[in-house]
Structure 1
Amino acid sequence: MFWRKISPKDKSVLITGCDSGFGNRLAFRLNELGFRVYATVLSEQSVGAQDLTTKCKFADNMCVLEMNVTKEDQINRCYDFVESDLQKNGCVLWAVVNNAGVVTYGHTEWGPFDEITKTFDVNVFGVIRVTRKFTPLIRLSQGRIVIVASLGGRLVADNLGVYCMSKFSIIAYSDALRREMRKFKVKVSTIEPLLFKTAMYEMAKPSLDRNWMTTDDTIREAYGEHYFAHQLKVLDWEFKIGMGTKNLDIVVNDMIAAVVSVSPNRRYTPVNRFMFKIIPPFIPLLPQWIVDRVFYAMNTKPAFVNKTKQNKI
Structure 2
Amino acid sequence: MLWTSDKTLDVALYAIVSYIVGHLLNCLGLPSFWMVFTVAWILSTGTCLYLASLEISPDKKAVIVTGCDSGFGHDIALQLDKLGFRVFAGCLLADAGGQGAKDLREKGSERLKVLQMDVTSTDQLEEALKDVEKLLPDDEVLWGIVNNAGIAFVGAVEWVSLEKYKRTAEVNYFGLVAATKTFLPLIRRSKGRVVNIASVLGGMGLAWFGSYGGTKHAVEGFSDCLRLEMRKFGVKVSQIEPSSYLTATQLLTKERITGQADECWEGLSEEIRSAYGEEAFRKAYEGYMNHGQDNIQPVVDSAIEALTQKYPRARYCPSSWSYRWMLLVARHLPEWVYDNIF
TM bracket (short chain): 0.7 to 0.9
1:200 aligned onto 2:251 = yes
Q: What is the 5 A alignment of 1:117-132?
A: 117-132=166-181
Question: Do 2:257 and 2:285's aligned partners in 1 also have CA atoms closer than 8 Å?
Answer: no
Mark the CA change 1:200 to 1:180 in structure 2 (over 3 Å): closer, same or farther: same
Percent identity of equivalent pairs: 39
Deviations 1:65-117 (A, max 9, x none): 0110000000000011111222x453100001000000000011213211000
CA deviations 1:175-216 (Å, max 9, x no partner) are 000000001010000000001221114133432342233223
Match of 1:5 among 52, 55, 67: 55
Contiguous gaps of at least 5 residues in structure 1: 296-313
Q: CA deviation at 1:221?
A: 2.8
Q: Which residue does the alignment assign to 1:301?
A: none
Give the match's secondary structure for 1:199. coil
1:229 to 264, 282, 297: 282
Superposition pairs of residues 127-166 of structure 1, within 5 angstroms = 127-166=176-215
The answer to whether the aligner puts 1:288 opposite 2:288 as a matched pair is no
The one-letter code of the counterpart of 2:331 is: P
Output the CA distance in 2 between the equivalents of 1:141 and 1:262: 14
Following the alignment from structure 1 to structure 2, what is the Cα–Cα distance between the partners of residues 279 and 232? 21
Residue 251 of structure 2 aligns to a residue in which SS?
Answer: helix
Distance 1:132 1:285 in 2: 32
Mapped to 2, the partners of 1:94 and 1:21 lie a distance apart of 22
**In structure 1, what residue type is equivalent to 2:57?**
S
Aligned equivalents of 1:50 and 1:122: distance in 2? 23
Find the counterpart in structure 1 of residue 307 from structure 2.
Answer: 259
Decide whether the 8 Å contact of 1:105 with 1:211 is kept in 2. no
Change (3 A) 1:290 1:206: farther
Aligned match for 1:47, one of 85, 99, 118: 99
Q: What amino acid is the match of 1:290?
A: V
Q: CA deviation at 1:246?
A: 2.1
- Work out whether residues 111 and 212 of structure 1, in 8 Å CA contact, stay in contact via their aligned partners in 2: no
2:271 aligned partner, one-letter code: T
Cα distance in structure 1, aligned partners of 2:117 and 2:219 = 20
| Deviation >4 Å, runs of 4+ | none
Work out whether 1:76 is the aligned partner of 2:126. Answer: yes
Counterparts of 1:17-32 in structure 2, within 5 Å, are 17-32=67-82
How far apart are the structure 1 equivalents of 2:68 and 2:280? Answer: 37
2:164 maps to which of 115, 118, 126: 115
Indicate how the Cα distance of structure 1 residues 276 and 107 shifts in structure 2: closer, same or farther if over 3 A, else same.
Answer: closer
Q: Which residue of 2 aligns with 1:302?
A: none
Structure 2 alignment gaps of length 5 or more: 2-51
Residue 230 of structure 2: which of 174, 181, 194 is its match? 181
CA drift at 1:163: 0.4
State the 1:289 CA deviation. 1.7
Within 2, Cα distance between the matches of 1:276 and 1:114? 29
**Quick check: 2:155–2:285 contact (8 Å CA) kept in 1?**
no
Deviation for aligned residue 1:233: 5.3
Deviation string for 1:27-63 (max 9, x for gaps)?
A: 100000000000000111111100100112x2x2011
Query: What is the aligned partner in structure 1 of residue 239 from structure 2?
Result: 190
What residue identity is the alignment partner of 1:288? E
Alpha-carbon distance in structure 2 between the residues aligned to 1:70 and 1:33: 29
Partner Cα distance (2:87, 2:161) in 1: 37
Question: Is the 8 Å Cα contact of residues 111 and 210 (structure 1) preserved in structure 2?
Answer: no
CA contact 1:111–1:213 (8 Å) conserved in 2: no
